[in-house]
Structure formats: C-alpha cells, structure tokens
Amino acid sequence: MADSKGAKRSSIDGDSFQDSKRLKMVNGGGNATTDPKYNKYLAHQYEDGQNQNGFQSPLDQFQRHQTTAIQAANAEDSDLNPWTNKPHSQRYFGILKSRRDLPVSKQRQEFLDMYHSTQILVFVGETGSGKTTQVPQYVLYDELPHQTGKLIACTQPRRVAAMSVAQRVANELDVELGEEVGYSIRFENRTGPKTMLKYMTDGQLLREAMHDHEMSRYSTIILDEAHERTLATDILMALLKQIAERRKDLKIIVMSATLDAQKFQTYFFNAPLLAVPGRTFPVEIFYTPEPERDYLEASVRTVLQIHASEPDGDILLFLTGEEEIEDACRRINLEVDDMIQESEVGPLKVYPLYGTLPPAQQQRIFDKAPEPLKKGGRPGRKCIIATNIAETSLTIDGIVYVVDPGFSKQKIYNPRTRVESLLVSPISKASAQQRAGRAGRTRPGKCFRLYTEKAFKKELIEQTYPEILRSNLANTVLELKKLGVEDLVHFDLMDPPAPETMMRALEELNYLACLDDDGELTKLGSLASEFPLDPSLAVMLISSPEFYCSNEMLSITSLLSVPQIWVRPNNARKRADEMKAQFAHPDGDHLTLLNAYHAYKGAEQGGGDVKQWCHEHFLSFRHLSSADDVRNQLKRIMETQDIELVSTPFQDKSYYVNIRRALLAGFFMQVAMRESSNSKVYKTVKDDQMVMIHPSTVVSSPYDWVVYNEFVLTTKNYVRTVTNIRPEWLLVCFLSLFVLPFNAQLC
DNA sequence: GAGCACTGC
C-alpha cells in the first residue's frame, strides 16, 4: 500500500485536474455519497484504512507528515471535496481564491517543512495574516485525521471567536458546521462523529484534560492568541510541555502576536519560530508634549479637536469603566451641539461601549455614521467610547482615529488580605500598540496618545502581567491537582506566581477539605473539581444534601455565579428598589435571590412574556436565563456524581434555616460579626477586618452574625450578598475543619 | 447609601 501511494504521488503533484476527473468517473454510479456502504468515514473500520469499493480521493495519495503545499493546493482545487466526496460549491472556489491572497498562504510550504521537522512550533502572525483560519487547515491536510481517527484542536480565549472562526472555516472547507469542522464551548458542543477540526475555548480543553490527562483524542493542539496569557492558556502551555515529553506523537503549535515570541520559543525548549506578516494599514502615532493632569478632560478635548479639524473617519476612545464612559458621552454631546452652532462641523454621534451594556445597545456601534446636516455639508462621523472590550473582544471596522489616555481597569490580587480588586492602572506597551492598531484596519489611521513619548518608552511595562499573577489561585490549584500535577512547586509555568499566592490557595483548599494536610486531593476535592465553580461554591453545593436543600442550593449557586440579576437604571432607582423589596427575605440576600429566581420560574411557567415580566420587575432576563443554563449544567454534574437532589418541604419551618446552614458549609470562612450592638461596623471572623454591609443589601434589621458571598473594596470595605446566621451553626463547621481533613485522608 | 475592566469552565 505504501508503495502504491508513493508511486502515485508524482502524478498528483503534476496534474491534479486529470486526477479529479478520474475521481468523478470512479464515482460515476452516483451512489457514492448516498449509500452508507460507501461512507468514507467508515474507512477507519477497514483494516488497511482503505475504502473497500476502491473509491479514491486525492488524500489517498497523501502520506501523513509528508504533504507538500502543492499537493494540498491541488486537492483543494479538485471538483470533489476530498473530505466529503461531494462536489465543491461555487462559493467554495470564490472563498478559496481570497484565501490564497492571505499573507500566510505564501508560506504554506515553509510552514509544512517546519511542522514536519519539529514537535513544537511557535507561530507568529499579526492581525490580518490569516493564521487562525488557515494554519489549522494546513495541519488538517497534513495530519489526515480520517486515517488516524485523531482530532486537531485549536483553542481561543473567547467563545464568540471559537464559534465564528469555526463557522468561517466550515465555509472555507465547504462542509456543514458541526460535521467535519465544529466547535465546543461551555453549554454548546457542535461537534460530531465526523469532526476532524475542532475550535474550542482554552478553558474547555482544560476541562477535557481533567479526564484525559494525555489529551489522547488529539494529534495536534494549536493554542491561538497565546500572547493574551489567559489563566487557561498558561496552564495549558505548562501541561502540554509535560505531555509533549510523554507523547512524542503529539504536535503543538503556539500562535501569538509578534511581541514576546522569543519568550515562547525559549519556554518551549527553543522551538523553531515561523513569522508571517500581517495585513494592516500604517498608523501614525502622536504624543502629548506634556503629561496630562486630567485624562478624561483631555480625552474629550482631543475627540472634539479631531472632529473639528481631521478628515472624515470614525473615532475610538478608550476609557476605563461605565461611569467614566457615560460621563464622557454627556460632555462630548454637550460640546458638539455648541460647535455645530458656532462653526461648520458635521454631526457627531457618540456611542458608549462596555461589557455590561445589553447586547442590543452594544450592536448600535455598528450603525452607519450620521449623514451631513445639509446637502453638501461636512460628513458626519461616529465616536465610540469603549472599555478594553474594544481592544481584543470586539472589532469595529471604519475606525481611523484612536484616542488612548493610557489607562485601564485591571484585576489585582493581594494574597496578604486575600482580596481581589479592580484598580485603574497604566496600560502596557503591548496594549498601547494593540489600541493603536485599531485605527488601521480599513485604511491608514492616526492614534493620539494622551501621554508623552518619554512616558511610553520609560514608564509603561512591556506586557500586561499575565492573569495568573493577578488572581486568587484556589480554583487553579484544585484544577492542577485534578489534572494530575503532583508537584506544584516544580510545575513549569511560564510566569510562576508568588509563593504566597500559592500558599494562600493551598491553605484555602485545606480549610475546605479539598486538600488534606499533605496537600493531596481528597475525595471531596476531586468531586469539587468536577464543577465549573469556585471551590467554596462547589463544596457548598456538594454538602447541601446533608441539609436537605440541594435543589435550592443548586439555584443559589447558579445565581451567585452569574452577574447581578438586579437591574437598577439611574433614572428609575426608586422603582427598582421597590420591586426588589417585593422579593426581599428578612433573613438576607441569598434567600432574596432564591425568591426572585422562583418568581422568575413561576412567570416562565405562567406562559406569559417572561422578558416583559423581567423588565417590569427590574430583573435581568439575560442573567436569569444564563443562571438557568448554569443550573442545568450543575444539575447534570450532580446527577452523574450521584449527589442527591432533595428539598425540605416548603411548609416545613426549617426550609429556610436549612438553606442558611447549608451556606456555611462552603462559606464558614466568610462570616462577619457585629462589632457591638447598634453598630453598623462588622468584623470578619477569620482575619478581624473592619467591614460594612454593602448598601445594596435587603437586610434592614442589623444582625449580629452574617455570612457573606464577597468582599468588595471600593470607597469602604464592604461585604456583599449577606445572610443572617446563628453562631452555634459555625461550631459544626469549625469542628469539621479539624476532623474532615483527617477523614478525607481515609477516603 | 453604593456602582462591576474583560474573559472562561
């Protein structure tokens, strides 16, 4: 068989057109695509890997890891789709032509040569190079998954990217999405038995790895957007580095933007590097001569100046958060009205853009720029004022001017106080370049940096600190344990976190009895890692059958893992608060959440317009329905893990007491005690921090003891989402603190 | 009497 392949190869190289004709004749009977007997996807069932009826595809001539670019291109040019044996559509050839124009296309052979010669490859490509769509297809034509039965995975940091790229590549390959090309993200798996190329979120691949430590389903794993350094990417990189040693047949491609390519190479045993140019337009950078004192004021001024004196083209301004953005929108709108009256400027439409904005309002940024005020007048333009969401997650075409004040809100974690918080901080050089690049997507653009060139060069750090250095790692450590990483200290992360952060995580997991005193995963810990939740929420959920309320804790856990369900628009705060009061439970916010959820489910069953109902009750339909998705997922995990789903009868007077007690099973470390009677100040039990109860609470009469869901550091130290508890309930928890780890060891 | 950058499982 190998001989015949070798012999035919030259003819394929030389004349693919004839070859595809021959193909057609072989299939002359016309039943090849309809008769299941001829389904080439069953080919792997035959011993020699060949189809029994003698059907030949150009791919039969390919030898794994020896494919040439010409061979592959010829197969792509065939009349019949080599992957489906169906005729290629007209659209296919249209797309194929544009694919061949992508910068990466010129380097297909170079890529293949390098891919053949190495196990790990670092691939660097700027925006517009085509790497995300093309490289996985180049790999597909070389890995021949139909022969090996193994998949090619390509990971993305975000769900939308995984979905949209998979759709694009399915079109490019002329196949149905979900068949040969699919995607897998949380709540949605669009892959099937035929799937060969799978786009997925990096977190999803990590989840899979928990049950398949060797990632044995895959022949090639492509990590895309590795420069973003998400927590999941960082863990995957370290994991793959280990797996690569054990599985010499596994190929790994790490794809990244240019910056820091060397760091990736060095990290991956000096892996070879392939760089492909991007396709963007030049962007001229301007700096302020002097530092700006008030960047918000300077931003508004700059936008107005651009509008008054620069040729047409849309503006993108980066600010740090909702409040700032809405403020800037107001100020610009006011000023523009004056400008229009005083001079001959065109209309300017201002759009805010941030993550918590409802999707319909986010979509408005894609509206066309306004028409001139009168015929022949100066053209209108739009100005989008956005958070970091416009840096990576959302791309807006038509932006010609970028205004970059140089700040963003960043998560930081302080292991000493165990508090994660958001802080307005200067961005990195990489971030500044990314922002500037947003001006050159459709034509040459300009970027106005509201800081000096000296500050850019001397004060900005090269790269934003990777997430792993800015997070509480309790969840990560639990995951790593489940992934079979024995030695955390020598686990080779690209940027190892501070030892103190690791210690805090181990300590927290030990308190929760997820790790025993030797740092080994307990049965509880192993169970907890099955849930896509923070360890404390997972432990709370797992323990809830003991309190006869696992159905209710399932709901509360889901509600705590989605964004706030309470809607409180600035112009209707009072009415919103009144509506919330209808759901209020005297014993606290967790129970109030549950009430609102039950009312929502009731409205759903009532059969009316649930969206309308939510709107009237100032509840977020979006977040409630995503809580429902989470709940279904968690419920399935409960069922597969044989955790009982039980409730205390609602009439039973211990219904709510049981729930309150169950909260403590996961959150006994997050309890605060009133400092003195009549005081509004509380003290956390674990480390004596002075805190206040967040004003959003429904709790009106001050309780002596509360359990809280989170600690928020804003103008004051607040604890948010609190429920009244009795101190004697804690005794059981603290007792278990000493007893359980010991028990767990026995498990 | 406050306010949550952005992701992900």
Q: Give the per-residue pLDDT at A715.
A: 77
At residue A737, the pLDDT reads: 57
Q: For residue A457, what are its two tokens?
A: 């060069």
Nearest to A473 by CA among A526, A561, A543, A535: A535
How many C-beta atoms lie closer than 10 Å to residue A714's C-beta?
10
Nucleotide nearest to A574 (CA to C1'): B1
pLDDT above 50 (res A741): no
Reply yes or no on whether the pLDDT at A733 is more than 80.
no
pLDDT value of residue A717: 86
Largest CA distance in chain A: 91
Greater confidence, A569 or A705?
A705
Residue A196 DSSP label: -
What is chain A's percent helix, strand, coil content, to nearest 5? 45, 15, 35
* Backbone φ and ψ of A532, nearest 5°: -80, 65
State yes or no: pLDDT of A552 exceeds 50.
yes
Q: Which residue has the higher pLDDT, A593 or A40?
A: A593
Segment A63-72 shows an average pLDDT of 92
Kindly report which listed range (A179-183, A387-391, A527-531) carries the lowest average pLDDT score: A387-391
Q: Please give the average per-residue pLDDT across A267-271, as a whole number.
A: 95
A364 touches strand B (CB under 7 A): no
Rounded Cα gap, residues A436 and A236, in angstroms: 30
Residue nearest to nucleotide B9 (CA to C1'): A532
A 473-492: CB within 7 Å of strand B: 475
- Per-residue pLDDT band at A128 (split at 50, 70, 90): confident
What does residue A607 show for φ and ψ, rounded to 5 degrees? 85, 0
Residue A614 has pLDDT above 70, yes or no: yes
Contacts of residue A177, Cβ cutoff 8 Å, sequence gap at least 6:
A166, A167, A170, A183, A190
pTM of this structure: 0.87
CA distance A92 to A84: 13
Q: Which nucleotide is nearest to A696 (CA to C1')?
A: B2
Whole-number average pLDDT of chain A: 86
Which pairing describes strands A690-693 and A717-724: parallel, antiparallel, or unpaired? Answer: parallel
Predicted confidence band at A736 (pLDDT cuts at 50, 70, 90)?
low
Q: Which residue is nearest to nucleotide B5 (CA to C1')?
A: A409
10 Å CB burial of residue A103 (0-12, 13-18, 19+) is middle
pLDDT tens readout for residues A350-381:
999 988 887 788 888 888 888 888 887 888 89
pLDDT at residue A28 in the model: 35
> Residue A670 has what DSSP assignment?
S
Residues 687-706 of A with CB under 7 A from strand B: 694-696
Q: Which of residues 112-151 of A touch strand B (CB under 7 A)?
A: none
Q: Is the CB atom of residue A156 positioned under 7 angstroms from any atom of strand B?
A: no
In this predicted model, which residue has the larger pLDDT, A491 or A51? A491
Which residues of A spanning 709-728 put their CB closer than 7 angstroms to strand B?
712, 714-716, 718, 720
In this predicted structure, the answer to whether residue A423 has a pLDDT above a threshold of 50 is: yes
Residues 6+ apart with CB under 8 A from A378: A312, A344, A345, A346, A372
pLDDT for A270: 95
- The protein residue nearest B8 (Cα–C1') is A203
| DSSP sequence for A412-428 | EEETTTTEEEEEEEE--
Measured CA angle at A259 (ends A257, A265), to 5 deg: 90
C-beta of residue A123 within 8 angstroms of C-beta of residue A174: no
Q: Is the pLDDT of residue A124 over 90?
A: yes
Per-residue model confidence (pLDDT) at position A688: 85
pLDDT digits (tens, 9 = 90+) for A225-243: 999 899 999 999 999 999 9
Residue A35 pLDDT > 50: no
Q: Is the pLDDT of residue A149 over 50?
A: yes
Q: What is the pLDDT of residues A302-358, one digit of tens each?
A: 999 999 999 999 999 999 988 899 899 999 998 888 888 887 788 999 999 988 887
Chain B nucleotides reached by a protein CB under 7 Å = 1-9
How far is Cα A603 from Cα A599, in angstroms, rounded to an integer? Answer: 6
**What's the rounded mean pLDDT across residues A583-587?**
92
DSSP three-state, residue A122: strand
User: What is the per-residue pLDDT for A359?
Assistant: 78
* Å from the A568 CA to the B8 C1': 26
Categorize the per-residue pLDDT at A738 as very low, low, confident or very high, splitting at 50, 70 and 90.
low
- Say how far A311 CA is from B6 C1', in Å: 32
Cα distance between residue A618 and residue A596, in whole Å: 11
* Strand B reaches within 7 A of the A429 CB: no
